[in-house]
Amino acid sequence: MNYLVTGATGFIGRFLVEKLLARRNATVYVLMRRASADRYEGLCERLDVGEDRLIPVWGDITRKGVIDAEALKHLSGHIDHVFHLAAVYDMNMTDAQADKVNNEGTANIVALAGQLSNESGTKPCFHHVSSVAVAGADYEGVFTDEMFDEGQQVRHPYYRTKFQSEAIVREHCKVPWRVYRPGMVVGHSQTGEMDKTDGPYYFFKPIKRIRDNVPKWLPLLGIEGGQMPVAPVDYVVDAMEHIAHKKGVDRRAFFLIQDEPPTAGEMLRILMRAAHGPDIVRNLPTHEWPANIEHQFKRLAGNIPMAEWLEKRISKSVGVPLSILGYVNNRAIFDDVNTRAALKGSGIHCPRLEDYADTLWKYWEMHMDCDVHVPEKLLRRMQGKVVVITGASSGIGFMASKKLARAGAKICMVARTPSKLEETQSVIEKMGGQAFTYPCDLNSMEAIDECTKKILADHHHVDILINNAGHSIRRSAFESLNRFHDYERTMQLNYFGAIRMIFNFLPSMAKRRNGHIINISSIGCLTNVPRFSAYVASKSALDAFSRCLSPEVASRNIDLTTIYMPLVRTPMIAPTKLYDYVPTLTPEQAGDMIVSAILEKPKRIASPLGTTAQISYALWPKVNDFVLHKAFHMFPSSKAARGGRAGQAEKPNIPGRVLAALLPGPYW
């Protein structure tokens, strides 16, 4: 089976090509511009396939004829299916851009598909990827995939050209055709992979700002809005590939959406939960809002001086284009009757957003949220510096890696899992930074020795060592009587592993008479909260070691800084559901504390609460014990600690939530 695909290096195209190549004896021709040859090579590398099965066809869909006569002669009579995915999807596109690519490009590909028929009458099947946008932004009522021209308004360039390009296929295509209308295509439901900010992703930044600045326990109000026809890219591709090879469904359109899609309010609630932000407990009805609210706003704004500037300022401050905000009140209800019939018995179905929202959020936060703040002073300080960060593949370590790499440092990332390190390395390199991966099990002294030896061989010295990797256990002493190994493994990683790293880098720092060691400790060392005896003891041991070492190395210009880190929302605390209800720092705020340590080189960094708790314990230890005893009973043990099933910790009671709000930061 031979396929010709346009837009093959685009987001949907990459997955579709992979799916087609999985078919037996399949050959895929990809239509590419010469200027995009590097993208073709990247696609070959991604799919691990050569030019014998993934063959470039050089051309341009915006040019009449698209390909040259020699290529046309070679392909004529040999193509079974043409998939047309190339289009402009930018919601900020101009009318000229939209017409050039979406309309003229479609017309040219439709004509090419007709020319690919051979003299015996064999014709390829033409598959056009349209969109739910053909219904416009203000259509009210049920819109089935049998419907097309219903008098709907399509004012925006994207909606207009999606409607018009589908009309071109319907009216001018001389070969059998099928039209696919995906909804809001989001990342892969299994991996979260996505490559641009689009559709629901415009709301991710505002959601993150709310999560970082609003207490988790504070209930929020949202808006109900209309249905949001979301669909993960893997469902879109699986459905397209199946329907494309199904007989008897020519000249039909197929919506590719979730069954009973969430409303705008439900979608925001699902995404907010995935971000571990506060709950949206109630949505305000929006059925009385005008359906064409965006158009009315623009018409009103047209009478205001500098209206275009004002629109851009509003979109920038909100973080969402007005065209997207206008669609929040979508009145269309999409019915995929054709799709359900075509997929019946195939086992292919669209998963519900709540089942994979966590995956989407994690991928976005790691790979796409690369806008990190770096002080100008750090840019001057870090150029070319070699920084070793343990526990660098997630949480605090990963955020610190991004910030320091953006500032120009060479980041040596140390963590246990090679695949995670490679993933984080690719993110930093995409940001323009330098990162080097060193997989290492910090529980093994031999592994640490090999790792540090390799780092010194590669970079000759280390300027800054950040001991960030750590393991925490929330379990009372009476719940640990038969779990002595918890104390051993916590001490092994948090203390012995850290000082082994220090010992291995200390000689080269002393020789160069320059170095900075930063140990990520815990506010627990200052507050002495119950249930953390294993964790706090290990961190306190490292703290004491550092205080003793500091005067020994002062004459060699080696600085030591201990950061008594408050509770941070990282994967380490995720299993303890109790922490969904207490104030926490974000990894970015924790990263800023590390930046401050590098710039100022203080002996210690602690929150005001941590410092107050330390002084209080020195002056009134029995008063502290009384308060912490009460807190011990306010914050229950997790079911896992009591022998139950993990992940079902109880919520704190009202006094506990009040105490956590008044005293933010400790590991309760």
Residues marked active site are found at 535
Q: How many whole angstroms from its chain centre is CA 214?
A: 21
Distance CA 15, CA 21 (A): 10
Cβ(80)–Cβ(125) below 8 Å: yes
Cβ(188)–Cβ(126) below 8 Å: no
Two structure tokens written together for 69: 């006569």
3-state secondary structure of 646: coil
CA angle 427, 267, 393 (to 5 degrees): 20
């914050």: which residue's tokens? 635
DSSP secondary structure letters along 99-125: IIIIIIHHHHHHHHHHHT--TT---PE
Q: Is 47 exposed, middle or buried (0-12, 13-18, 19+ CB in 10 A)?
A: middle
């009476």: which residue's tokens? 478
First to last CA, the chain: 62
Cβ(51)–Cβ(40) below 8 Å: no
Per-residue CA distances from 421 to 78, 414, 436, 570 (Å) = 44, 8, 9, 16
Helix extents (H) in 222-306: 233-244, 264-274, 293-301
Cβ(194)–Cβ(363) below 8 Å: yes
Q: What is the DSSP letter of 352?
A: P
């019915």: which residue's tokens? 335
Distance CA 606, CA 609 (A): 8
Two structure tokens written together for 605: 């960094």
With a CB cutoff of 8 Å and minimum separation 6, the contacts of 560 are 516, 517, 518, 519, 546, 549, 550, 553, 603
Burial 395-426 (b: 16+ CB within 10 A, else e): bbbbbbbbbbbbbbbbbbbbbbeeebbebbbe
Count of other CB atoms within 10 angstroms of residue 74: 14
- Give Rg (Cα) of the chain: 29
3-state secondary structure of 519: strand
Distance CA 203, CA 209 (A): 10
Strands (E), 324-460: 332-335, 386-390, 410-415, 434-439
Question: Nearest CA to 236 among 212, 211, 258?
Answer: 258
Query: Hey, CA dihedral for 411, 417, 418, 420, is it positive or negative?
Result: negative
